[in-house]
Chain A
Amino acid sequence: MDKENIIISLQGVTKVFDGTTVVDNFNLDITKGEFVTFLGPSGCGKTTTLRMIAGFELPTSGVILLNGQDISLLPPYKRPINTVFQRYALFAHLNIYNNIAFGLKLKKIPYETVDKKGNPVTKFRHLTKAEIKEKVERALKVVDLEGFEKRDISTLSGGQQQRIAIARAIVNEPEILLLDEPLGALDLKMRKEMQLELKAMHKKLGITFIYVTHDQEEALTMSDTIVVMNDGEIQQVGKPKEIYDEPNNAFVADFIGESNIYTGTMAKDNKVRFLNKYWDADPVDFGKFPVNEKVDVVVRPEDFILGKAGSGVVDGVVTSKIFKGMHYEYIINVGKSEVIVQSTAELDEGIKVGLNVEPVNIQIMKKPFVSNFYDGYITKDYKVEFANAEFDVDVLPLFPGAKIDENEVLIDDKGNEIDVVDMEINVEVPFEAITISDDPEASDIHGHIISLIYLGDHYEIIVRTDDEEDFVLNTPDLWNENDEVSVIIDKSQIHLSRKGAKK
């Protein structure tokens, strides 16, 4: 990227609220005139990041550079950045003219003059009434509300208030305009209109827009660059088409657009196995993954090619058909897995079809991890405790040659006692070792489901306990978000290792 053109740069920005990390090591450069969207589910840290750029929150660590200057600790009123708030935040005691003129009346502009000795000096002055009037009128014209100057805020509709909020921000000619879900309170039709208008405004004004939304369609429509966030971390940065076509991981694929996501396995000869068949992999993925590695495979519904049974790689049965205007959306059962397919061809329910996919349309992604890792320690009964629960796991393999003597004391091969009580160890629990139950008596670990992603024939579920420990597991059963569950761990699959020791 062109270093000269970077207007704002966030480097290692982290925000911690009461011990919870809301934004974690955020690194991003934004170029002048770009339309950048922070996209993610609620609570992913996107608004907090925006508020740190505006100056309403100070980063716990990291720096924010504006044109190369560190502004991390600058109060909001000293930053050449303006915000359009989600709830408009118009001044109820001022009319529209005075709302828009608020920032202009405070602004001081430099001008050249000569002092008594005739030397040129730069002084600062307020804008004149006429200048303010002209700018306000121009701003009202931009948002298409000419002649509204004298009206009261309370006489405006939601959409009009939103336009005034935009006018109030852009009239100051900020270097960056921040928009915090500005269309969230509008109805669908109005939102679509405003999306296009905002995009046109961005083109006309040429200032940098940073836009926050949880609406993926909005992000895809308007942005030059999308920053997908989840759990305070950036998942992917890219152009809308890149994010859609080449998602980095299952989260991005699931969040942006509809996706078929499967757990696959890399096979020999640049093939990938999913839906119980071998498929040709995308040439860009050749050699990226070792054979037999578990991967996430994403195929967009429109990328499946339907044909006669037997003509494709795999056959399936059409179980559902929905007309969507431009196309049909089918659900096709392939063995135990479901495949969502969009096609303009009309097919009847119950018939058998063959499925094929162009290799370039098969997105193969590294599985983030296939095991859960915890910090545990050894209790005085030589059991293992982690996630606030105790497990009767044999700790002897951690200490080669050691055994437990007749006094129930751990001794090494020379017969000396080894003090292992409270020793910290790494605990690895594979996804397969975990099952969940809605019976609260089933185990000592209780939590609620915070995320579930459908992976074709099963769900990947994340359960979070009250102590903020996460358990990732796979299950064929459908649960709901926020379900309270007990986490059952098959202790025979728990793998222990000593901290610091090489495996």
Chain B
Amino acid sequence: MEEVARRQRSRFNFRASLSIPFFVFMVFFVVVPLFLIVYFSLTDDQGHFYFDNWRLIFTAGDKWKTIGLTFEIAILTTIICILIAYPIAFILSNKKFNKNKILVYFFVLPMWVNFVVRTMALRDMVNEMFENLFNFQLTAKYPVAGTVVGMVYDYLPFAILPLYNQMLKMDKNQIEAAADLGANPFIVFFKVILPMTVPGIISAATMTFMPTMSSYVVAEQMGNGKVSIIGTLIESYVNTIHDKNAASILSLVMLFIIGISLVVEKFFTKKDEDRKVGIW
């Protein structure tokens, strides 16, 4: 008995010890940096505690407008991404069109190209196109629209993959059953296919919303430097103004918003517990 108990204990300890590297990693790369950011947000550049930063950052300048614009762009991007990704994922999940899953790679391939290079290429291509067709540069005349175009282009794969995964798992029998019970293809889509893919839609929304909230390269490249969102603001605080304290405060605000979006996602997916969607 004692022997067994001891062995059980030692095995348990061994298994628990496997998590030590992960624990160390988390402490050094997540917990400590987060504390530093909180610390910076509560101090001035001399290292003294200085709480007025929090008040100043939201009263000085138009920070609320920036946050609002960030929201607008992120939500618009998310909606457009899902509207485009849904039919693409639907076609890709059909084995008739996508026999060897090669087509999926075509849509995901851009993710593997350097982000900045890819965005610059898109900017030049879009501008060239508008120049020829409408005689103006999209990014110069409509920087916000340009930013959205760039965001949609960059984050579309993040919307396609979760939707595609969800659609692969769709129960084809339920689709046939709906048709059998008298539903035409239109009703089959709205009453059966759409409800079955809701977890995929939520996942796709989170996967696009979160990175668009924090992105700054796209706004910089596609907004012609005129679009100010949280990401670009932080970047300017860090690189131009060299005010890491203000940048920290904005990062925390961004973290808070993303945290809320995760809570919202959890709320929607609460019912569907065995959901295993994701691209990782």
Contact = CB atoms under 8 A, between A and B. Distances in A.
A76 B181 CA distance: 8
A91 B173 CA distance: 9
Interface string A55-95: 11000000000000000000111000111010111111100
A77 B180 contact: yes
A54 B180 contact: yes
A86 B15 CA distance: 44
A18 to B, nearest CB: 12
Contacts of B45: none
B179 A172 contact: no
Interface string B146-184: 000000000000000000000000010110111111111
B174 A76 contact: no
Interface string B198-210: 1000000000000
A102 B171 CA distance: 17
Contacts, number: 64
A107 B182 contact: yes
**Chain A binding site: helix, strand, loop or mixed by DSSP?**
loop
B179 A76 contact: yes
A170 to B, nearest CB: 12
Nearest to A102: B181
A168 interface: yes
Q: Classify the interface of chain B: helix, strand, loop or mixed.
A: helix
Contacts of B198: 93
A103 interface: yes
A82 B173 contact: no
Contacts of B183: 77, 102, 106
A77 B184 contact: yes
A103 B171 contact: no
B202 to A, nearest CB: 14
Nearest to A107: B182
Given A93-B195, A93-B196, A172 B182 contact: yes
B171 A89 contact: yes
Interface string A380-395: 0000000000000000
B182 A85 contact: no
A89 B174 contact: yes
Interface residues of B, number: 19
Interface in A143-185: 168-169, 172
B174 A103 contact: no
A103 B188 CA distance: 11
B195 A76 contact: no
Contact of B173 (A75, A77, A87, A93): A87
B192 interface: yes
Contacts of A102: 178, 181, 183, 191
B187 interface: yes
A168 B181 contact: yes
Nearest to A82: B180
Nearest to B172: A89
Nearest to A51: B176
Given A93-B196, A106-B187, A172 B174 contact: no
A156 to B, nearest CB: 16
Given A91-B192, A92-B171, A93-B195, A106 B182 contact: yes
Nearest to A56: B176
B66 to A, nearest CB: 40
Given A89-B171, A92-B171, A77 B179 contact: yes
Contacts of A83: 176-177, 180
A174 B196 CA distance: 27
Interface of A: 54-56, 75-77, 81-83, 85, 87-93, 102-103, 106-107, 168-169, 172
Interface of B: 171, 173-174, 176-184, 187-188, 191-192, 195-196, 198
3 closest cross-chain pairs (CB), A and B: A89-B173, A103-B181, A89-B177
12 contacts: A56-B176, A77-B179, A77-B181, A82-B181, A85-B177, A90-B174, A91-B195, A93-B195, A103-B181, A106-B182, A107-B182, A169-B181
Given A55-B179, A77-B179, A92-B196, 6 more contacts: A76-B180, A77-B182, A77-B188, A91-B178, A91-B195, A168-B177
